[in-house]
Amino acid sequence: MIIKPEITSAAFTDFVRDHYAPAIMQILPSLDGGGVEQGVIDINAAIVAAGGRSIVVSSGGRRVPEIERAGGLHIKLPVHSKNPLVMAANVGRLRKLIRAHNVDVVHACSRAPAWSAGRAVQGTNARYVTSVHSAHKLDNGFKRLYNASTTKGELVMTVSHFLADHIEREYKVDPAKIRVVHRGVALERFHPNSVTPEQLIKISTQWRVPDGAAVILMPARLSRLKGHMFLIDALQGLQKKDYFCLFVGNARGNGSYPKELEKYIDDAGLAGMVRMVSHCDDMPAAYMLATVVVAPSLEPEGFGRIAIEAQAMGRPLIATGHGGSQETVLPNETGWLVPPGDVPALSQALREALSLDANQRARLATHAMSHIAAHFTNENMTAGTLDVYAELLNRALVQGRPSNDAAHADHLAHAG
């Protein structure tokens, strides 16, 4: 069994020990599902564990209790809104919070919050960092201006080198202020040993998976860019039809696409072999059910959480070779990378993955799990993020920036 590494930010803990407990404010649109939300929740817990004070600002959501259980403070504001009037009002609201809570570092984790937060920190003693999670489309000048809000931090964090290159090229961001911190996976949850036989029985029964069928799993929201039709085309190239394909993901306002996808499946003659599942509360069990996991996105993902989760679970993985997946998948070692839209290549990768014998699957699983444990854990991600905070905190000390925090003096007095 792979043991979860215990990794912490020495720079951040040293700052707490030598100076005071800094207040870090993360700002994101909401706290429901998603990779950004999970990252904020994990970082909140890491800040508290390292001795800092954590504040999370969002419009709320079902995962707010996770912030509070870990010792963080959640403040509800309409920072999700793209209404210019609300965004302008959020500038004053956030500035008031920054001063009231003596915030040392403000971290804007999305575009709308960044638009307000970048202005709110002006006139305060807080340092400012932003995160870029996606290579958003640049349809017009307004879109470019809106997207650029996440590139205006004193330091700019990206979740992949692909995104670092993207913002340097498209937004002329100085590479000296870019910090790449890959996303991570919770190994205590995403590990084969974490899934019980009862979980597998429950999910296979719920999804009516045929006994003995090889399961091809594609976990992704229903969007044209995710490559569902690309996978269907590749499935038609398989001579053996002893598989069962599951599309697991919500539509999230994609209009007519789900109905178009159903028709595409029918027209391909795969109606009884491909099933669409709108939601899954137990992704580790879903991965364990899979014979092979496919992430056939047609547009480059900023990072691609599916790739690291599937590898952490020891599942054979096929992904398209662009974007963040090029940094997380080792071709022919921990999975397959195929060109986006290349149907014959995807069909061939599926044939190879489905034909692995028990020994080959075991070797691939061992390499994949070790790869993720070494490079893409939550511990690595939180330590890297706290390192960025510590860099800004120490920069403030070197520059002699005055503190606006009476609590800092109180903390030092008690420490003495």
Report the DSSP beta bridge partners of residue 377. Answer: 185
- Specify whether 166 is located in the same domain as 224: no
Domain limits at 295? 192-375
The pLDDT tens digits for 218-238 are 999 898 999 999 999 999 999
The pLDDT tens digits for 240-273 are 888 999 999 887 666 789 999 999 999 999 998 9
Q: What is the residue whose two structure tokens read 């069962």?
A: 244
Lowest mean pLDDT among 124-128, 386-390, 405-409, 412-416: 412-416
Average pLDDT over residues 357-362: 96
- Specify whether 312 is located in the same domain as 352: yes
For residue 259, the domain's CATH number is 3.40.50.2000
Instruction: Using CB atoms within 10 Å of the CB of residue 207, give its burial: 0 to 12 exposed, 13 to 18 middle, 19+ buried.
Output: middle
Identify whether the C-beta of residue 85 lies closer than 8 Å to the C-beta of residue 390: no
261, part of any domain = yes
- Rounded CA gap, 124 and 104, in Å? 9
- Specify whether 52 is located in the same domain as 132: yes
296, part of any domain = yes
Number of folded domains that form the chain? 2
231, part of any domain = yes
Cα separations in angstroms, 125 against 98, 128, 130, 393, 413: 9, 10, 16, 11, 21
Lowest mean pLDDT among 148-162, 166-180, 396-410: 396-410
- Specify whether 49 is located in the same domain as 176: yes
- Specify whether 156 is located in the same domain as 221: no
306, part of any domain = yes
Identify whether the C-beta of residue 93 lies closer than 8 Å to the C-beta of residue 58: no
5, part of any domain = no
- Specify whether 167 is located in the same domain as 123: yes
pLDDT at 413: 45
pLDDT at 262: 93
- Rounded CA gap, 405 and 416, in Å? 17
Q: Output 410 or 261, whichever has higher pLDDT.
A: 261
Give 8's pLDDT tier (boundaries 50, 70, 90): low
pLDDT at 398: 79
- Specify whether 62 is located in the same domain as 143: yes
- Rounded CA gap, 248 and 361, in Å? 23
pLDDT at 411: 43
Lowest mean pLDDT among 137-141, 217-221, 237-241, 290-294: 137-141
262, part of any domain = yes
- Specify whether 75 is located in the same domain as 211: no
Is pLDDT of 295 > 80? yes
Give 397's pLDDT tier (boundaries 50, 70, 90): confident
The beta strand positions in 41-158, using DSSP E, are 53-58, 73-76, 105-108, 127-132, 155-158
- Rounded CA gap, 58 and 55, in Å? 10
Classify 48 in phi/psi space as left (phi over 0), alpha (psi -120 to 50) or beta. alpha
- Specify whether 314 is located in the same domain as 285: yes
pLDDT at 159: 95
Number of helices (H) and strands (E) in the chain: give both, helices first.
17, 13
2, part of any domain = no
- Specify whether 212 is located in the same domain as 354: yes
Is pLDDT of 3 > 80? no
Average pLDDT over residues 328-357: 96
Is pLDDT of 400 > 90? no
- Rounded CA gap, 258 and 226, in Å? 13
pLDDT at 415: 41
103, part of any domain = yes
Average pLDDT over residues 313-329: 96
- Specify whether 402 is located in the same domain as 348: no
- Specify whether 251 is located in the same domain as 289: yes
